[in-house]
């Protein structure tokens, strides 16, 4: 890995409920890797960065919305490695740029805003050759690292915990690239996916695209009822839950991904969906910078 990932640690959560049910719950703190660009994103970037460093094109071009953890991670990683980065951003530039986009610019990313309509067509042949003309030759990273290379990078996350010790590994799911990485690198653990988008019905197709032969349907469980209304939607009970996790265990979570993932796992434990003796590892995939877009005072941390 290009980045020091040894700040990542496993925190064990202990409470009466878990003791009662004879379940152990641990959190792999990928958020500790770096204060802003933490979590799964640096892993997903690994092999794209290698390609860029080895190729003649020292430029990376990628995509994201105004609050994209992927954009800011790409901006940071490319700057660290002396590469150029271009971010194609969904929607017109607001008068005041989001905190995320300001960070991207601070890390030297060149931002290029396109309409939502144009963004929908961003992966078409015509769009791609347009970028080539406009920005010159480059390595392109699909939005969120959604590509087998991204999954191969995410597979490196498994080097941070012991194989087959846990019975379940849980992760918040956006593009499913992180889950695909787990599937291709883990042993017998059940992989639990918590989609943060509403109506995400194509998870299995995505996994097949991302990890081909490594994809076995029996190994995954999709918990699709914890999106809280859709991407980046939230309510008071989610925020309250996040605050209580902070108060009890000193674990900060984000409202887009990791808050929903942990909420789901606690809810499933309360509903007796895990057998006694289960050992659950939750990936804290980072993303804390996203909390900057909440109204001030929403969170205790």
* CA distances in angstroms from 184 to 59, 66, 145, 157, listed in the order given: 29, 31, 16, 11
Structure tokens at 198: 């509403």
CB of 166 to ligand PLP, least distance (A): 18
Residue with smaller CB distance to ligand PLP, 252 or 274 = 252
Q: Should residue 184 be labelled a site residue for ligand PLP when binding is judged by CB under 6 A?
A: no
CB of 232 to ligand PLP, least distance (A): 11
Q: Should residue 186 be labelled a site residue for ligand PLP when binding is judged by CB under 6 A?
A: no
Distance, in Å, from the CA atom of 22 to the CA atom of 26, rounded to the nearest integer, reads 13
Q: Are 141 and 132 in contact (CB under 8 A)?
A: no
Q: Are 280 and 22 in contact (CB under 8 A)?
A: no
Residue with smaller CB distance to ligand PLP, 138 or 284 = 284
Q: What is the DSSP letter of 38?
A: -
Q: Should residue 174 be labelled a site residue for ligand PLP when binding is judged by CB under 6 A?
A: yes
Within 194-253, the residues that bind ligand PLP by CB under 6 A are: none
Residue with smaller CB distance to ligand PLP, 78 or 177 = 177
Residue with smaller CB distance to ligand PLP, 69 or 103 = 69
Residue with smaller CB distance to ligand PLP, 135 or 224 = 224
> Strand 84-90 to strand 59-64: parallel, antiparallel, or no bridges (unpaired)?
parallel
Contacts of 201 (CB under 8 A, 6+ apart): none
* CA distances in angstroms from 19 to 14, 24, 143, 274, listed in the order given: 8, 8, 41, 13
- Smallest Cα–Cα separation from 16: which of 239, 248, 240, 242? 248
CB of 102 to ligand PLP, least distance (A): 18
Residue with smaller CB distance to ligand PLP, 44 or 84 = 44
Q: What is the DSSP letter of 217?
A: G
Q: Should residue 85 be labelled a site residue for ligand PLP when binding is judged by CB under 6 A?
A: no
CB of 195 to ligand PLP, least distance (A): 8
Q: Should residue 65 be labelled a site residue for ligand PLP when binding is judged by CB under 6 A?
A: no
Q: Should residue 64 be labelled a site residue for ligand PLP when binding is judged by CB under 6 A?
A: no
Within 270-289, the residues that bind ligand PLP by CB under 6 A are: 285-287
Q: How many CB atoms lie within 10 A of CB 139?
A: 20
| Residue of 61, 89, 172, 192 that binds ligand PLP (CB under 6 A) | 172
Number of residues that bind ligand PLP (CB under 6 A): 20
Q: Should residue 259 be labelled a site residue for ligand PLP when binding is judged by CB under 6 A?
A: no
Structure tokens at 91: 């929607």
Measured in whole angstroms, the distance separating CA 33 from the mean position of its chain's CA atoms is: 14
* CA distances in angstroms from 124 to 17, 120, 296, listed in the order given: 50, 9, 39
Q: Should residue 149 be labelled a site residue for ligand PLP when binding is judged by CB under 6 A?
A: no
Distance, in Å, from the CA atom of 201 to the CA atom of 204, rounded to the nearest integer, reads 8
| Residue of 62, 78, 149, 178 that binds ligand PLP (CB under 6 A) | 178
Within 23-52, the residues that bind ligand PLP by CB under 6 A are: 39-41
The residues binding ligand PLP (CB under 6 A) are: 39-41, 69-70, 144, 172-179, 254, 257-258, 285-287
């Amino acid at each position: 890995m290009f980045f020091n990932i040894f700040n990542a640690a496993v925190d064990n959560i202990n409470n009466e409920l878990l003791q009662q049910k004879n379940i152990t719950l641990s959190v792999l703190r990928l958020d500790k890797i770096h204060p802003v660009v933490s979590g799964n994103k640096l892993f997903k970037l690994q092999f794209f960065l290698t390609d860029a460093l080895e190729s003649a094109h020292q430029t990376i071009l990628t995509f994201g919305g105004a609050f994209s953890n992927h954009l800011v991670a790409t901006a940071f990683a490319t700057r660290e490695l002396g590469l150029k980065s271009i971010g194609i951003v969904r929607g017109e530039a607001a008068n005041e740029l989001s905190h995320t986009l300001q960070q991207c610019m601070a890390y030297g990313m060149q931002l290029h805003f396109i309409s939502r309509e144009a963004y929908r067509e961003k992966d078409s042949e015509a769009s791609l050759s347009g970028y080539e003309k406009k920005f010159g030759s480059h390595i392109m990273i699909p939005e969120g690292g959604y590509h087998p290379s991204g999954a191969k990078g995410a597979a490196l996350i498994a080097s941070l915990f012991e194989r087959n010790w846990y019975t379940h590994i849980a992760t918040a799911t956006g593009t499913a690239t992180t889950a695909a990485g787990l599937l291709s690198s883990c042993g017998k653990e059940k992989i639990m996916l918590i989609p943060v988008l509403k109506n995400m019905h194509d998870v299995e197709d995505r996994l097949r695209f991302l990890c081909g032969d490594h994809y076995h349907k029996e190994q995954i469980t999709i918990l699709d009822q914890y999106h809280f209304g859709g991407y980046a939607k939230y309510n008071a009970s989610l925020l309250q839950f996040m605050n209580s996790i902070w108060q009890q265990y000193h674990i900060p979570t984000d409202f887009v991904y990791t808050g929903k993932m942990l909420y789901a796992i606690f809810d499933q434990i309360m509903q007796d969906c895990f057998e006694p003796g289960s050992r659950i590892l939750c990936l804290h995939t980072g993303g804390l910078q996203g909390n900057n877009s909440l109204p001030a005072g929403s969170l205790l941390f």
